[in-house]
Amino acid sequence: MEYKKVTFMYRNKDYAVDGIRSALGLAVENMYSYGVVMDTEIEQLDEHNQESIEMLRDMEGEIYSTVPANVDKNGFEAITIEELGEKLRDMSIIIPYGLK
Amino acid sequence: MAKSLGIFVTNPDNFAHVMGITKAAKAKGSKVKVFFTWTATHNAKDPAFPELCELADDVSICVDSYKKQGYAVDDVPKGLSPKEMATQAQHGIIIEDYDCYISL
Amino acid sequence: MKILNVYRSEPDDTVKKLVEIVTRDREVDSFNLMDPNPDYDLLVDKIFDADQTICWW
């Protein structure tokens, strides 16, 4: 069985944390699930949300960001727009999440 | 036979599109499932929401999001049953079991 | 592989760049959801015809 690969993209800080929760929701359904915080700097995540991301990583998912501050503050993996585009080519489902 | 269609709604401003796409897909004989999450759960209070529930084969909302948007869990929107106040697993069903997918 | 790009707003440079990379060497279609009266019938036909639909912000 081939597992689905899904990437969520978040461009609005009010949608990022919940969007990460949605990504985790698919990882527990046996999908490769990734999130990308773009354009926006989000606040430092609390322990509960950091644990959610750790769970996502345990299931081979990841949260990326194009914004260096998010990488420094929250330990997201750095990614460029070009790298993201290449990654999206490999996805079964691509979700531009929430509002811009 | 028409393909089935799953709709994942994450933007509360897209309800008219959800209705339009659902109507068009049903007119073609398609099976349609819609799942609302985060701020899009406000759409469950739209006057046209019960009509969507009639039209589509399956409509559910993320109950955790609904609660975080300020609604009581026992305030079940018209058109839904308590079991359709659900989890992100509904999104997984859309991806695994439906032929086509759109997020709105 | 046929990709359908659906636009809810005018694509900015980031979206244009991602679309360019994702659709490289692939068949591509598009639909504009910015129209005041979108032709949902046509949109559903396009969704059914595509292998993947991406609805950009």
pLDDT in tens, C3-36: 999 999 999 999 999 999 999 999 999 999 999 9
Q: Which chains touch A (3 or more CB pairs under 8 A)?
A: B, C
Touching check for A89 and chain C: CB below 8 Å? yes
- Decide if pLDDT at A35 tops 80: yes
The pLDDT of residue A71? 97
Q: Please identify which residue in the block is written with the tokens 């709604």.
A: B9
CB contact under 8 A, A94 and C52: yes
Which of C9, C15, C22 minimises the CB distance to A89?
A: C22
Q: What is the pLDDT of residue B7?
A: 98
Bridge partner residues of B33 (DSSP): B6, B58
- A80 CB burial (10 A radius; 0-12, 13-18, 19+): exposed
Q: Report d(CA B74, CA A98) in Å as an integer.
A: 26
Name the E strands within B4-99.
Answer: 5-9, 32-36, 58-62, 85-86
Partner residue opposite A38 with nearest CB, options C9, C14, C52: C14
| Cβ–Cβ gap B101/C40 under 8 Å | no
**Domain boundaries in chain C?**
2-56
CB-CB neighbours of C26 under 10 Å: 12
What are the C-alpha distances in Å from A44 to residues A16, A33, A47? 12, 22, 9
Q: B94: number of CA atoms within 13 Å, CB side? A: 28
User: Each residue of B45-103: pLDDT tens digit?
Assistant: 999 999 999 999 999 999 999 999 999 999 999 999 999 999 999 999 999 999 999 99
Q: Which residues of C touch B100 (CB under 8 A)?
A: 47-48, 50, 53
What pLDDT is stored for residue A15 in this prediction?
Answer: 97
CB nearest A25 (choices: B39, B87, B96):
B87
Task: Write down the domain spans for chain A.
Answer: 5-97
Single out the residue of C17, B32, C2, B29 nearest to residue C31, CA to CA. C2
Residue A22 host element (H or E): helix A13-27
Architecture of the structural domain at A5-97: 3-Layer(aba) Sandwich (3.40)
**Is B5-103 CATH 3.10.450?**
no
Give the Cα-Cα-Cα angle B7, B13, B17 (nearest 5 degrees). 45
Given B39, B88, B101, which is nearest A26 (Cβ)?
B88
A4 contacts in chain B (CB < 8 Å): 95-96
Mean pLDDT of chain A: 97
B19 neighbors B51 (Cβ within 8 angstroms): yes
pLDDT confidence bin for B1, thresholds 50/70/90:
confident
The answer to whether A44 contacts chain C (CB < 8 Å) is no
pLDDT at A2 exceeding the cut of 90: no
